[in-house]
Amino acid sequence: DAKTTQPNSMESNEEEPVHLPCNHSTISGTDYIHWYRQLPSQGPEYVIHGLTSNVNNRMASLAIAEDRKSSTLILHRATLRDAAVYYCILLFGNEKLTFGTGTRLTIIP
Amino acid sequence: GAVVSQHPSRVICKSGTSVKIECRSLDFQATTMFWYRQFPKQSLMLMATSNEGSKATYEQGVEKDKFLINHASLTLSTLTVTSAHPEDSSFYICSARAPGGSPLHFGNGTRLTVT
């Protein structure tokens, strides 16, 4: 399975943009890049996913490098409710989702 | 949007008893559901894949006789922790995927404490 590498933790000030990096140098051409986040004491929730082009939705933006070996999840204006563990996961089709250790994001008021 | 409901959210049981956790897809049919377990300060670990109308597929190291999974309908999967022991205390989370290749939707988890 292609693996992802994320920093263990990051901090950001409230109301500022946050860029969460993910490296996936062994990604295959058919792997989608998915991001999920887990708020404290809750199940994970879907954030965004993409294949090659950058993607935007109401929660975040996903910037994918041209060679697809890395990607960045962008929260445009962090709030305290964005404090969570963010997981970058590679997925092909309907295969099972395997979680790594993720990045614990702390928002500083 | 697609919603997955998990019940109960918390359960405390005595050692040696069995506990059943339900996972329902509320507005879509899910032929496949997944069960995860999460210990404090750790990531989610996939336990098994639950397939409607057939036997579940367990991950390596997960005892199928201890963690019984039943997926009797397209909207309901259950996980029964049999003869629970304190080391089974954990956060159990289910997930399901709506048809059409949409992202996985997760329940809010069940915190099991075995005393």
Grouping H, G, I as helix, E, B as strand and the rest as coil, residue B86 is: helix
- Looking at the complex, report in whole angstroms how far the Cα of residue B85 sits from the nearest Cα belonging to chain A: 22
What's residue B99's pLDDT?
Answer: 76
What's residue B2's pLDDT?
Answer: 63
B5 has a chain A CB within 8 A of its CB: no
A87 has a chain B CB within 8 A of its CB: yes
Query: Would the CB atoms of A44 and B103 count as touching at under 8 Å?
Result: no
Partners of B32 on chain A (C-beta within 8 Å) are 94
Could you tell me if A39 and A98 are in contact, meaning their C-beta atoms sit under 8 angstroms apart?
Answer: no
- Residue B101 has which token pair? 């290749």
| Pairing mode, strands B45-51 and A70-75 | unpaired
Digit-coded pLDDT (tens) for B20-39:
999 999 988 988 899 999 99
Is the omega angle on the peptide bond into residue A7 within 30 degrees of 0, that is, cis? Answer: no
What's residue B38's pLDDT?
Answer: 97
Whether the per-residue pLDDT at A16 is higher than 70: the answer is yes
- Looking at the complex, report in whole angstroms how far the Cα of residue B109 sits from the nearest Cα belonging to chain A: 6
How far apart CA A73 and CA A10 sit, in angstroms, is 13
Nearest to B97 among A38, A94, A102 (CB): A94
Digit-coded pLDDT (tens) for B56-92:
999 999 999 999 999 989 999 999 999 999 999 999 9
Q: What are the beta bridge partners of residue A6?
A: none
Grouping H, G, I as helix, E, B as strand and the rest as coil, residue A81 is: helix
A96 has a chain B CB within 8 A of its CB: yes
Cα-Cα-Cα-Cα dihedral of A37, A38, A44, A49, to 10°?
A: 0
Query: Would the CB atoms of A43 and B32 count as touching at under 8 Å?
Result: no
Residue A82 pLDDT class (50, 70, 90 cuts): very high
How far apart CA B58 and CA B46 sit, in angstroms, is 9
What's residue A1's pLDDT?
Answer: 56
Query: Would the CB atoms of B46 and A42 count as touching at under 8 Å?
Result: no
Query: Would the CB atoms of A97 and B104 count as touching at under 8 Å?
Result: yes
Q: What are the beta bridge partners of residue B32?
A: B51
Cα distance between the two ends of chain B: 37
Whether the per-residue pLDDT at B102 is higher than 90: the answer is no
